[in-house]
Amino acid sequence: MEPPLLPRESGQFVAKQSQYVSVEEEGVRKVAEMLYSLRGSDELSASGWKTANPLAPSPTSEQAFNWVFVVDTMNFSFWPDEETRQCEVTFRGTTYTGYMTLCAAITRAMEEGVPITDPKFFSQITVEELAHILRSDNETPMPMLQERHQVLTEGGRVLLQHGGSFQNFISRAKNDARKMVELVVEKIPSYRDEAVYQGRKISLYKRAQILVADFWAIAAARGETDIVNIDWLTMFADYRVPQALVYLGALRYSDALMHTLKSGQLLHSGDPREVEIRACSIWAVERIKARLDELAREQGAESSGINSVLIDFYLWPYAKQHHREMAHIPIHHTRCVYY
């Protein structure tokens, strides 16, 4: 089979043929106008990364890059089987759920003296050791422990084979965001987030792209060499940002899809409905970015300076902050290692 379409092209390809999800141009314009009013703020900058995730180590710390690798490698499938029974991790007096349980657990392990950011350690970690690191406050464990163990040890072995740290490994891509994503996808199987839609192989590369974006955010916070080609990255297609896009009117689900999601039906990875939700989210954000640039040109600027990564960096915490208001919009449920 021919190589997969790249994420941006995949989003456009799927959106043109989508049966269950549509990109709504009126909503796209409204979101763009909202974001345009925030241009230049910390909310729409790479520097906002640390603010959005206070559990991450200081960007200037030695462990920052490897911390990001460990967390992003296990960054998938946090939704609970039952809303009333969630994995919880309390750290420094705050109780976290969802993705933040992983961040809290990894930073907690570091404070306990566990060398969790050292590839020599996490490439050989046992399932039992990882279970202790990711332990929950209650009887509900973090989902997919075996899969998290598999991808973490796999990723650690790859780092040891290529320079011994994430920074050394990714340096082979010469500070080019596209080459970074391609390197990660080529060398680490769990990052190959691909599917077949209407007979065409596509890619979404959620975790590979967010890994590179987080690397960019740390480098930017350190004042180090700029990453080129960062605008090549798309948004990171998960289950939370699509919900925000529907809430804001940039995406619309068909009645049939909405009924399916509200019934709690599990969608398998690669299901056409699941692919459409994720790929149309990518294309909706591309349309938002294009409208932002139009607004900037109307004001005499060449572009808005707001890329897809920054839009995602804004929308994900927005979804968390407004989760009560958008509770009537169901998220889709897919158990997989890709998001």
Residue 212 corresponds to which tokens in the numbers above? 């590179």
Is the separation of the CB atoms in 244 and 321 below 8 Å? no
Question: In this predicted structure, what is the pLDDT of residue 280?
Answer: 98
Domain ranges of the chain: 7-321
Question: In this predicted structure, what is the pLDDT of residue 40?
Answer: 85
Question: In this predicted structure, what is the pLDDT of residue 331?
Answer: 95
Cα 300 from Cα 167, distance rounded (Å): 39
Classify residue 279 as exposed, middle or buried by CB count within 10 Å of its CB (0-12, 13-18, 19+). buried
HEC profile of 62-79: CCHHHHHHHHHHCCCCCC
Amino acid, single-letter form, for residue 150: Q
**pTM for this predicted structure:** 0.94
Residues of the chain with pLDDT under 50: none
What is the dihedral angle through the alpha carbons of 214, 65, 63, 66, rounded to the nearest 10 degrees? 110
Cα 208 from Cα 194, distance rounded (Å): 12
Catalytic residue chosen out of the listed positions 238, 255, 271, 293: 238
For the chain, give the longest Cα–Cα distance. 59
**Which residue from 334, 339, 327 is spatially nearest to 83, judged by alpha carbons?**
327
Active-site annotation holds for 214: no
Q: What are phi and psi of 56, to 5 degrees?
A: -70, 145
